A and B are shown apart, each in its own frame.
Chain A
Amino acid sequence: MSFLRSLLVPRRGRRSRPGTLPAGLVLAVGLGALLVSTVVNANATLRDSQAKRNNPAWRTDVAANVADVSNALGLTEPRTVIDDAMGRHGSNLTAEQVLAGQRAAQAAARRRAGHGTTPLTAASSVPHLRTPTPADPLKLWVGGDSVTETFGTQLVRVSTGTGLFRSTLDFHVGTGLVVPSYFNWPVHLATDVLTKVDPDVVVIMFGTNDGQNIQLANDTILTAFTPEWQTEYANRVGAVMDLLKSPTNNRIVMWAGPPPMGPTTRTHGMDLISHIDWLEARSRPWVHYVDTWVYFSDANLQFQHSLPAATGELRGLRQADNIHLSDIGGTWLSWIVLRDLGRYVDLSASKLQPDPDDLPSPTRKERAVVPPHVPGAI
């Protein structure tokens, strides 16, 4: 009882040693403060836990249980109010739902314009983009997860340097298509990118954070890389590709598969994700799949930290974590993307040409078929 009473009594009496507490009370204050922040932040903690790659399942389970209790007691309200005020709330809308909303909005717009319900373009047509010039550049948007940070930074630098693009980088660390409650890419693409930027060229890369279980709206858990998971992930990839399609067919999507990961990274399954990306892109003429894997691996398709460039010079393509691209690796992939983009757009007016040291060896060729499993890959 005396301990409990001491928790409630103001500490004015300690005139000889102001600002002090007995160690036991300090522990109680510290534990209590952590408890308060844990229950009030429960939903945010759960979102973070779900989004973390390689997070042990028990951590997410604990976070989920705490969130359940906190939500039931209404203790998460203060945090929700702050998140709403800052526009930070996650969304559980699926890519398909966002896509359905987008299609409905487009159909309504066409009806208002007197075009009935006839689609503007056939799905089989290759997008048509105007020829960019320095006076009339194309809008290029590059986005994705943290791997896109250095890659996108270099792509913006290189593409802007050509004088043919006005480029924007939009990466979000720790994100992907598996945990929309943490960061909802379909919603972001629909509400922020397509509406506000309306890019002519979309360059996008996901996968590094996607090798984890998927939790469906009905709380069903799809274990990572199982057939059910693959079907769901393919649906999400396909829906995002569909979402990015321009109703007037004047937008190209350069979908870059994830690069291979180093052996110590505990980041698995990038070969399978590449396969799914490639498979989904095949049936969508407005999507060009960039086979990143082959440009960051050796002749046996195994991860390499450094590779010889077109000149034979050894180039360090990855950061020391063996996950992210180095600046050189980012530049390397940027020129590959621009080269591929040149198949759809006339880039002959470019003011910038690649340094041969920034290009992969010409012996590296994209694969005709991207298999679901690369022997030896993690």
Chain B
Amino acid sequence: MAVWRVARRMLFPTVDFAIFFLIVFSGSWLLRPHRVSWRLFILASSIYFYGYWDWRLVPLLLGTVVVNWAFGLAVHRALGPDATKTPASRALVAAAVVVDLAVLGYFKYAGFFVDSVAERLHSLGFHLGDPTLSIVLPIGISFFTFQAISYVIDIGRGVWTRPVPLLDFAVYLTFFAHLVAGPIVRASEFIPQLDSVPDPRFVRSSEAFALIFRGLFKKVVISSYMATVADPVFNLPGQHSRWAVLWGIWAYAIQIYADFSGYTDIAIGLALLLGIRFPQNFDAPYRSLSFQEFWRRWHMTLSRWLRDYLYIPLGGNRGGDGFVYRNLMLTMVIGGLWHGANWTFVVWGFIQGSALVGERIIKKWWATRTPLGLPTWLVHVLQWFVTFQVVCLAWVFFRAPNFSDATEVLGRLFHGGGGSSLVTPLLMFTVVAMLASQFVPRRIPDRLTEGFGRLAPVAQMAALGLGLVLVDALGPAGIAPFIYFRF
């Protein structure tokens, strides 16, 4: 049973957020030369942004800040000469990780387990009331917890030679642009930018505006439209033909990409307007020719987090093939569980892990064989096709509410007759166009952005304004929360 609840929403594509950001933008640039004032202003703005969702959760966010900062300080003091690890520093890092994961686990998984236990006890005649009412999943908890963990571990590893001031750490962890759905920014990427005061005469506006507009279009227009096809297919697979189910699965693949990468684009653009650069989070993932490449392009900041703080500590590539395969599989399954307490996420992680392992095995085996002599372009097309379809297969489990629904969706692919009004030329065009957009060379959007930057500001204003009109007109009434807000 879902325990996620949102009291009020300050989503990026809303008037409320636009007003909030205009105030933050003005205040930020006015206060930027003043070290402490600017930090306090940004911290207060971020807390207001988070509290707008639910004020009761602000203490949790601030508690995470204080506890992890204190752990960082303690770990740093426990390090040996030249920042070498000591038993005490290791124990403190482990304690910090345990505390963070315990809090994350409580909010994210306790509802699921309490519900299960309550239902089991009820069937045995014990009545516990209604336990689900008391647990609300704090929005963004997975993201800020992962960032906090990476900070403490990095100090323990000696990546950070000094603990940062509490105020800097608080600004880093709570910064509103990445607070609720990433990207997962590391302290080493963010905190140095706090000290290098950017020049207010040179705000990277055209890149930022392009990112924000692109993100809005992907979220409000593309993701919303794809949902009108994917939702009915996944809600009632038995009502749709195999043709509709197939397009519904592809539509969901586009929906989740447009939704999440759209959010990330907006987040990166907003931060850029404030003079902060975030790492890239998506790089045309559906153009990938292999699963390894897919994970280098999809949710890149989570991929590298899992690599650096899970896969490598598990042993990484240092060992025999079986050892490496085990680590890959564990990393992906745990990555699946990170999304929530549901077997469907485990299966999703298992499919991704199996694909990564299978790909390595096949590559190794293929290297010993004589090439078939197929043209390179054909090999690439086949590789792309297989990669995309397996990714879509995994999305079925990611999207379906439970295992049986996922199997029903897949079953319809093999014995679902009849036509469907869901599959329209517009849907097919949009899916194909979104996939084709993944192959557009980066220089083309870059040139468009440069061209926009050369316009007179009043022309930029008109272009952006009309762009917003178009987004609003093409999108549905009301904005659904971003999919990744649940995680």
Please give the residue numbers on chain A whose beta carbons come within 8 Å of chain B beta carbons, in ascending order. 6-12, 17-23, 25-37, 40-41, 44-45, 47-48, 51, 78-79, 82-83, 86, 153, 156-157, 160, 167, 169, 173-174, 182-183, 264, 304-306, 312-314, 316, 319-321, 326-327
**Interface size (B, Cβ < 8 Å)?**
63
Whether the pair A320, B4 counts as a contact (CB closer than 8 A) is yes
Chain B residues with CB under 8 Å of A313's CB are 119, 122-123
Residue ID in chain B nearest A41 by CB atoms:
B472
Tell whether B205 is near chain A: CB-to-CB under 8 Å: yes
Check: B29 CB closer than 8 A to any chain A CB: yes
Q: Is the CB–CB distance between B468 and A36 below 8 Å?
A: yes
A176 to chain B, nearest CB (A): 13
Interface residues of B in 1-26 (CB under 8 A from A): 1-7, 15, 18, 22, 25-26
**By the criterion CB–CB under 8 Å, are B450 and A33 in contact?**
no
Q: Enumerate chain B interface residues (CB-CB to A < 8 A).
A: 1-7, 15, 18, 22, 25-26, 29, 115, 118-119, 122-123, 127, 130, 132-133, 136, 200-207, 209, 232, 235-236, 238-239, 273, 401, 449-450, 453-462, 464-470, 472-474, 477-478
Q: Which residues of A have CB within 8 Å of B239? A: 156, 160, 167
B473 / chain A contacts, CB cutoff of 8 Å: 41, 44, 79, 82-83, 86
Residue among B2, B133, B455 making CB contact with A11, cutoff 8 Å: B455
Residues in A with CB closer than 8 Å to B127 are: 314
- B456 close to A8 (CB less than 8 A): yes
Knowing A18-B450, A20-B204, A23-B203 touch, does A7 contact B458 (C-beta < 8 A)?
yes
Give every chain A residue within 8 A of B238 (Cβ-Cβ).
157, 160
Q: Which residues of the partner chain A approach B25 to less than 8 Å between Cβ atoms?
A: 23, 26-27, 30
> CB distance B465 to A32 under 8 Å?
yes
CB distance A37 to B465 under 8 Å?
A: yes
For the complex of A and B, list the 9 residue pairs with the smallest distance between their C-beta atoms, beginning with the closest. A36-B465, A32-B461, A33-B464, A19-B453, A37-B468, A19-B206, A20-B202, A23-B29, A33-B465
* Cβ–Cβ < 8 Å partners of A160 in chain B: 238-239
Contacts of A86 in B (CB 8 A): 473-474
A268 to B133, CA, bound (A): 20
Known: A6-B457, A20-B205, A313-B123. 19 other contacts (CB 8 A): A10-B454, A18-B206, A26-B273, A28-B457, A32-B465, A33-B467, A35-B465, A36-B465, A36-B469, A41-B473, A44-B472, A86-B474, A167-B239, A173-B477, A305-B132, A313-B122, A314-B122, A316-B1, A316-B132
28 residue pairs from A and B, CB less than 8 Å apart:
A6-B457, A7-B458, A8-B457, A10-B455, A10-B456, A11-B455, A19-B204, A22-B203, A27-B26, A33-B464, A33-B467, A33-B468, A37-B466, A37-B472, A40-B469, A44-B473, A45-B15, A47-B477, A51-B477, A79-B472, A82-B470, A83-B473, A153-B235, A153-B236, A160-B238, A160-B239, A169-B232, A305-B130
- Residues of B near A26 (CB, < 8 A) are 25, 203, 205, 273
Contact B26 A174 (CB under 8 A): no
Q: Are B22 and A11 in contact (CB under 8 A)?
A: no
B477 touches A182 (CB 8 A): yes
CA distance A160 to B473 in the complex (A): 35
Q: Measured between alpha carbons, how far is A21 from B273 in the docked complex, in Å?
A: 10
- The one of B130, B457, B464 in contact with A7, judged by C-beta atoms closer than 8 angstroms, is B457
* Given A31-B22, A51-B477; A21-B456 close (CB under 8 Å): no
Give the nearest-CB partner of A319 in chain B: B2
Question: Which chain B positions have C-beta within 8 A of A157?
Answer: 236, 238
Do B468 and A23 have beta carbons less than 8 Å apart?
A: no
A30–B456 Cα distance when bound, in Å, is 13
Contact check, A20 vs B456: say whether CB atoms are below 8 A apart.
no
Q: Which residue of A lies closest to B466 (CB)?
A: A36
Closest-by-CB residue of A relative to B446 is A19
Once the chains bind, are A22 and B456 in contact (CB under 8 Å)? no
Given contacts A26-B25, A32-B458, contact A320 B2 (CB under 8 A): yes
A6–B40 Cα gap in the complex (Å)? 32
For the complex, give the distance between the alpha carbons of A264 and B133 in Å.
Answer: 11
Do residues A29 and B205 form an inter-chain contact, with CB atoms below 8 A? yes
Known: A20-B205, A23-B200. A48 touches B273 (CB 8 A): no
Whether A34 and B458, one on each chain, are in contact in the complex, defined by CB atoms closer than 8 angstroms, is no
Q: How far is the CA of A326 from the CA of B4 in the complex (A)?
A: 13
A148 to B: closest C-beta gap in Å: 12
CA distance A167 to B206 in the complex (A): 50
Instruction: Choose among A29, A31, A47, A173 the residue that contacts B460 (Cβ–Cβ < 8 A).
Output: A29
Would you give the shortest CB distance from B446 to chain A, in whole angstroms?
Answer: 10
Q: Are A37 and B453 in contact (CB under 8 A)?
A: no
Would you call B458 and A21 a contact (CB within 8 A)? Answer: no
Return B357 CB to nearest CB of chain A, in Å: 34
CB distance from B277 to the nearest CB of A (A): 13
| One of B29, B123, B449, B477 near A19 (C-beta < 8 A) | B449
In Å, the complex CA distance between A7 and B209 comes to: 16
Shortest distance from the beta carbon of B398 to any chain A beta carbon, whole Å: 18
Q: Once the chains are docked, how many angstroms separate the CA of A33 from the CA of B122?
A: 57
Residues of A within 8 A of B459 (CB): 10
Nearest-Cβ distance from residue A85 to partner chain B, whole angstroms: 9
**Shortest Cβ distance from residue A161 to the other chain B in the assembled complex, whole angstroms:** 8
Tell me the smallest distance from the CB of A302 to a CB of chain B, in Å. 13
Give the CA-CA distance A314 to B129 in the complex, in Å. Answer: 9
Residues of A near B133 (CB, < 8 A) are 305
Chain B residues with Cβ under 8 A from A34's Cβ? Answer: 18, 22, 465, 468
Are A41 and B450 in touch, CB under 8 angstroms? no
List the B side residues contacting A319 at CB < 8 Å: 2
Chain B proximity of A28: nearest CB distance (Å): 6
- When distances are taken between beta carbons in the complex, the residues of chain A under 8 Å from B453 are 11, 18-20
How long is the Cα–Cα vector from A47 to B239 in the complex, in angstroms? 33
What is the bound-complex CA distance between A301 and B468, given in angstroms?
Answer: 47
Q: A39 CB to closest chain B CB, in angstroms?
A: 9
Which chain B positions have C-beta within 8 A of A35?
A: 465
CA distance A41 to B15 in the complex (A): 12
Closest to A328 in B: B1
Q: Which residues of A contact B232 (CB under 8 A)?
A: 169
Contact partners of B455 in chain A: CB under 8 A? 10-11
Residues of B within 8 A of A9 (CB): 456
Contact, CB under 8 Å: B203 / A320:
no
Q: Which of B7, B123, B132 has the most CB of A within 10 A?
A: B132
